[in-house]
Structure 1
Amino acid sequence: MAKTIFITGASRGFGKIWAEAFLKRGDKVVATARNTDTLNDLVATYGDAILPLQLDVNNREQVFTAVNKANQHFGVIDVLINNAGYGLFGTIEETSEQEARDQIETNVFGLLWVTQAVLPIMREQGRGHIIQVSSVLGLVTLPILGLYNASKFAVEGLSETLASEVKGFGINVSLIEPNGFSTDWAGASAINSKPMEIYDPIRAAFQAGLTEDSFGVPEATSDAVLKLVDSENPPLRLFLGKVALPWVQQVYAGRLSEWAEWSDVATAAHGK
């Protein structure tokens, strides 16, 4: 059965790839972007099946207007994919106040506004699926990406809480956690803080750790996302790529070991 999908950040990368995958199989898509001209090719190919909407997710009023317009246009929103966001490269010390605020504003608050806007619609429908595009960096971290890591850790906590709050309304919540993929996320879409020479060795080590095999093929993710959307019992978390799960398993094994090592101290702190 065809679904209606609302996707933010659909101008390029994952958002556009997934929008086209849905359209190809006969779904209807509300595709949002800051510049809807980037969606002209999809409109030319798929016509009325796609509704392009100009949207800056940082503008809460505009978000609610866009979501309500989409619902009025197609009569339903079955799935929300919160994909809008970007990467900020820079060490914690290098990051300016404005860069930090902008990163959290888009990656966390933008996602929150769209989620809040769609919830009343899905509650009234008695069904829906909210898919938050997080990252493996919402579970583990890399240097040079501190504020991005922080934004995705926030998305993880927000969304896991949301899942427990809305399950009774027939609404599912899933977090997509990709490892690195060969999109322009680290290129034209990224912001770079002004570098400090003292951190050059950290940057060099970061770059040295990246290999061609570290990055997946973006187009290969479509089948996984289609399966997630079609699942009657979707998971809370879905990794994309072959790097993410082994990495998280390794890091969490270390965390569990350290927590166990300090468990006597932790228990004594309870006081009774």
Structure 2
Amino acid sequence: MGGCTSTTARWRRSPCRSPTSTGRGPGSAATGTPCSSSAPPAPSCRPTGCAPRCSRVSGPPSTTSAAARPPSPCPPGAGGRGCSSTARAAKGWPTVFADGRGLLRALASVWEAVEPAGMDGGHLRGLFADGLAQAAAVLDEPELVAEAQRWREIATRWHALAETALPDDVPTIARLRELSATVTGAVAEGDAGAGERATAAEELWRLRAEHADAPPLDGDRLAAIRAEMSRHLGGIHDAEVAAVRRLGGLLAGA
């Protein structure tokens, strides 16, 4: 793959951030977001597998990139066919995780990427909505207020996806979520949270190792989770495509 450049912006390739990635899950290079000179990815795209990450470092944005494209966390395992619930899909989860190995890690990575309590920053749709609301006041464009509300509604869809991927009614999963949030909070505290961070991280990795070969969920529950995730992703896709189109129309008429 060639250099990460375009005529309107220069892009920087970042190395994969997960030294323990096995390449098995949907966050691997097989389903990550590669750099492309013809179709540059969203600036905040951050797959946690070994696909290169691109971020804008300079150059003016295109006509619609600044406002019509919301930030995207690109949650691992939450993209297109990679989360398909059908076994016929080559990259569908029933195929990729047929033996159960790595499945809990993939489900956890969805939750961590989408929720701000995770280690990846969250889906950022609420932040995008806040920006639209502020722009509505600064630019005297009241239509943007309605668009901000649409993105807040989309944020609730992402939250529902995360809750589906990692249900907290399962004690082991609830503890895994708690530990992930504890590590995130302790990291934010800096040196003051070092002890708590180390303790929580040790238990977190132990739990992940214990369930590395199979998640603490039976077959019927896993099938239901996959189907529900697929349904949520379809709704998110349709809602975001429509919202971007509406926002683009407002910009074109400005």
* TM-score of the two chains, using structure 1 as the length reference: 0.30
* TM-score of the two chains, using structure 2 as the length reference: 0.31
